[in-house]
Amino acid sequence: MDMLGIYLSVPFCRSKCTFCNFASGVFPAEYHDRYIARMEEDLGVTRKRARQWGAVLPQAVDSIYLGGGTPSLLSPALFRRLFTSLRREFAVLPTAEITVECAPGQLEPAVLEALAECGVTRVSFGVQSFVDSEARAIGRLHTRAVALEDIRRVQAAGINDVSVDLIAGVPAQTVESWYESLGVLADSGVDHASIYMLEVDDESRLGRELLVNGGRYRAQEVPADDEVADLYTEAIAFLAGHGLAQYEISNFARSGSESRHNLKYWRRQPYLGFGLDAHSMVRAHAGAALRFGTTDDFDAYLEGPGWGEPRRLDREEEMEEAWFLGLRLNEGVSLGSLRKEFSASVVREFLSTIGELEGDGLIAFVDGDRVALTARGRLLSNDVFGRFLAEPAVA
């Protein structure tokens, strides 16, 4: 039976990283209280909204994820209040995976104590680079020593599941410095890692600088796309050699430490998102997927109604999602499951595309039933996903 996942967006940061295009910003602490109160209002009307929309919410919650932003900037009192509200509104299982994103160097002892007390089981650190000059170049405020000390503190507080994010392609990164970061990550003993290839968004400070050829954020020193792809590919082999197997395009874990919450997104299991720019997917009574979300405008969120009206996906959209979300996972997409959910004839319509992509070396059959991206397919994943979007309509 499906369980529910809950995502809470906490969009507050101490400073803005140069590459960041998320709906996050630097706000005075007075806003924190108002924002949490606003989220609590939304938590309180969830069941009513779900009934109005004919949505079926699973009874039990088995994952909660506080992302952002830098949720660890909230005060201990706000964490306690938020978790009390969550447990009042939802049946949070004692075994639930509860993740909080933290920035190294921005986790006060009293906050860490509150996280442990609130039942947090997992911390995800946005390290991005363990090379101090690289972290500084992208606007991170920590050093390697601080990041490692924070990982140790979290584990000493009894929160054993720790994830570290790294970015391949930060300004001035070299193959040697990339291996240095990967080596520190592996030696730190964390059980999960996320590796992202830098994408320079025009709306980030780095992107704006690239457009005007400036020098402040070292945009001219961002490695070329093919070099970034090489760094990513080398990370996959390196991490596998250190017990962290790839299970999704950007995610790596020791066996059993995969992110339960994030798996819901790729497996199309139900989740609710609260706060700024948060997305939700739940099922209607007839089984159709309902997607809805909130604004990415901070003031509008504080004043507004929370979720916008839901959109009911048609069968064709659901099938497309099954492909482009499922193919992100190394386990791939089961044709047998698709036949059950849609129909054998619908799956047959995709066989020629699968054959072509297999011929191009972009996907492969894992066993007789599952189709998965190859290593090359992961690098060209958007092209592969696009090929599945062009298929005929699902009846």
Residue matched to tokens 């939304």: 42
- Percent composition of the chain: helix, strand, coil (DSSP 3-state, to 5): 45, 20, 35
70/251 with CB nearer ligand SF4:
70
**With contact defined as beta carbons under 8 Å apart, do 254 and 192 qualify?**
yes
243/293 with CB nearer ligand SF4:
293
**With contact defined as beta carbons under 8 Å apart, do 118 and 84 qualify?**
no
Q: How far is the CB of 152 from ligand SF4 (least distance, A)?
A: 21
Question: Which positions from 86 to 105 touch ligand SF4 by CB under 6 A, shown as an x/- string?
Answer: -----------------x--
Identify which range of 43-51, 65-73, 178-186, 336-344 contacts ligand SF4 by CB under 6 A. 65-73
46/262 with CB nearer ligand SF4:
262
Distance of CA 307 to the CA centre of its chain: 20
Residues numbered 20 to 39 that lie near ligand SF4 (CB under 6 A) are 20, 22, 24
Burial annotation 99-118 (CB, 10 A radius, 16+ → b, else e) = bbbbbbbbbeeebbebbeeb
Measured between alpha carbons, how far is residue 315 from residues 122, 191, 319, 350 in Å? 36, 37, 6, 15
Q: How far is the CB of 128 from ligand SF4 (least distance, A)?
A: 8
Can you tell me which of 13, 184, 282, 372 binds ligand SF4, judged by CB under 6 A? 13
- Taking each helix axis from N to C end, the angle separating 175-188 and 144-156, rounded to the nearest 10 degrees, works out to 20
Q: What does the block give as tokens for 72?
A: 């660890």
* 146 makes contact with ligand SF4 (CB under 6 A): no
Nearest to 330 by CA among 393, 236, 242: 236
75/330 with CB nearer ligand SF4:
75
69/310 with CB nearer ligand SF4:
69
Q: How far is the CB of 141 from ligand SF4 (least distance, A)?
A: 9
4/111 with CB nearer ligand SF4:
111
Q: How far is the CB of 203 from ligand SF4 (least distance, A)?
A: 12
* 181 makes contact with ligand SF4 (CB under 6 A): no
Question: Which positions from 357 to 386 touch ligand SF4 by CB under 6 A, shown as an x/- string?
Answer: ------------------------------
Can you tell me which of 9, 70, 188, 262 binds ligand SF4, judged by CB under 6 A? 70
Q: How far is 170 from 124, CA to CA, in rounded Å?
A: 20
57/210 with CB nearer ligand SF4:
210
142/370 with CB nearer ligand SF4:
142
Q: For 337, list phi and psi in degrees, rounded to 5.
A: -65, -40
- Taking each helix axis from N to C end, the angle separating 260-267 and 315-326, rounded to the nearest 10 degrees, works out to 140
Q: Cβ neighbours of residue 217 under 8 Å, at least 6 residues apart?
A: 18, 137, 138, 139, 171, 205, 206, 209
* 68 makes contact with ligand SF4 (CB under 6 A): yes
* Count of residues interacting with ligand SF4 (CB under 6 A): 11
Residues numbered 119 to 138 that lie near ligand SF4 (CB under 6 A) are 126
Measured between alpha carbons, how far is residue 252 from residues 162, 192, 267, 281 in Å? 12, 6, 17, 24
Identify which range of 68-76, 109-117, 180-188, 191-199 contacts ligand SF4 by CB under 6 A. 68-76
Residue matched to tokens 């609260």: 274
Q: Which residue is nearest to ligand SF4 (CB)?
A: 20
Can you tell me which of 5, 58, 69, 310 binds ligand SF4, judged by CB under 6 A? 69
* 254 makes contact with ligand SF4 (CB under 6 A): no
Q: How far is 282 from 286, CA to CA, in rounded Å?
A: 12
Largest Cα–Cα separation, the chain: 58
Q: How far is the CB of 206 from ligand SF4 (least distance, A)?
A: 11
Q: What does the block give as tokens for 134?
A: 């690289």
Site residues (vs ligand SF4, CB under 6 A): 13, 16-17, 20, 22, 24, 68-70, 103, 126
